[in-house]
Amino acid sequence: MSTDRTIVHVMIQGRVQGVGYRAWVEDQATLNGLEGWVRNRQDGSVEAVFAGPAQDVADMVALCRKGPPASRVHQVIDEPATADQLGLRRAGEEFSVLSTV
């Protein structure tokens, strides 16, 4: 079993608010055993941080490019993230849905 762990910051643009995108991300991340958080941004995008085994995180980013049925994803920008970014999640939670920024 691989111990490689990665943290990725993702910005998702398109029709991703008002379509259940955050709840879908939370469900998918939880099902895949990932840590992190997701939140809406005032510019209409969705932002997330995922942490876990590198392949699982890569698979989650790929899922974000598709999104839930009602969404239309135009662009996903992913970049390495830090433990500080991961630390924005709520204390005691593996994966958090945060307030809009």
Q: Which active-site residues does the annotation give?
A: 22, 40
| Cα–Cα distance for residue pair 72/26, rounded to 1 Å | 18
In contact, 45 and 16? CB cutoff 8 Å: yes
| Cα–Cα distance for residue pair 14/36, rounded to 1 Å | 21
Copy the structure tokens of residue 31: 């099902």
| Cα–Cα distance for residue pair 72/94, rounded to 1 Å | 27
